[in-house]
Amino acid sequence: MEYIILVSGLVLVVVGWLCYRFPNMINPYGNMTPERKALVDIDGLKRASFIIMAITGILLIVTALLYIFKVISEIMSVNIMTLLVLLMIVPLFIAMKKYNGFGRDKSGRAAPIITRPAKWVWVGMGLTAVFVIAIFAFSNKTPKIEVSEEKISISGMYGRDIPTEGILSVELLEKLPAIKMRTNGSATGKYLKGHFLLKNGENCMIYVRTEAPYIELRTTDNLYYFNNANVEETVRLFEQLKSLKP
């Protein structure tokens, strides 16, 4: 997630600079007739657009760095990113009204701020917000773990089937081993999911809410950590897995 935020910030800064250098990229200015463009204060509009996008981009970059250096949590970084992107549109609309980007129709008469391009921008921002919220909600969902004689099935994000014939050991732990870094996964609030690298150099798959106890499952090809929604269910799952060990 930190890299998505970082890249988003860099893209915004670059796009803002491109809009300043090539104002025809600014919608709807680029689609206006020459007569209508003459009514627009393009110097003011392109300068305002660049400043707004650059500031938003820089704040996103700072947010990503704060998360990378563990100053803020992932959930906070996602919330900040969503808020910044949604809020960016407000000063952009104000700038477009002030410099008449949406201010005149073809006859030169005053036109409403919310035109068709603006509505599509709102739709795009809304869909982006829904997508981010959906991903966040999905990553915070406790995975469903089903055990059979042949396999252990973990559903949801980063889910997989683990053949029971490869089980080497099953342990119940009160503390997770020290984690060095997340290599391909999510860490949102109380939930850890995906691929992680431990400080002892081992790679592992983790599916936990960060509340003890935890089940450590070692197989011939991987190392897993997971738990269930509460202590009782986790202990019950541990007993099931222990009975499968050869």
For 176-213, the pLDDT digits (tens) are: 999 988 887 777 667 888 889 999 999 999 999 888 99
Between CA 174 and CA 115 the distance in angstroms is: 58
38-75 pLDDT, tens digit per residue, is: 777 888 888 888 888 899 899 889 888 887 776 676 66
Of 200, 241, 185, 189, whose CA–CA distance to 3 is shortest? Answer: 185
Cα angle for residues 129, 196, 211 (degrees, 5° grid): 80
Query: What was the pLDDT predicted at 229?
Result: 83
Report whether the peptide linkage leading into residue 213 is cis, meaning its omega lies within 30 degrees of zero.
yes
Which residues touch 106 (CB under 8 Å, ≥6 apart)?
A: 33, 35, 36
Which parts of the chain are beta strand (E)?
A: 145-147, 151-154, 160-163, 167-173, 179-188, 191-198, 203-209, 214-219, 223-226
Give residue 1's pLDDT band: very low, low, confident or very high (50, 70, 90): low
- C-alpha to C-alpha distance for 152 and 241, rounded to whole angstroms: 9
Q: What local confidence, expressed as pLDDT, does residue 113 receive?
A: 42
Structure tokens at 39: 């009514």
What are the residue ranges spanned by the domains of the chain? 2-139, 145-244
- Strand 151-154 and strand 167-173: the pairing is unpaired
> What residues are paired with 187 via a beta bridge?
192
pLDDT number for residue 93: 76
Phi, psi of 190 (to 5 degrees): -95, 5
- Provide the whole-model pTM: 0.54
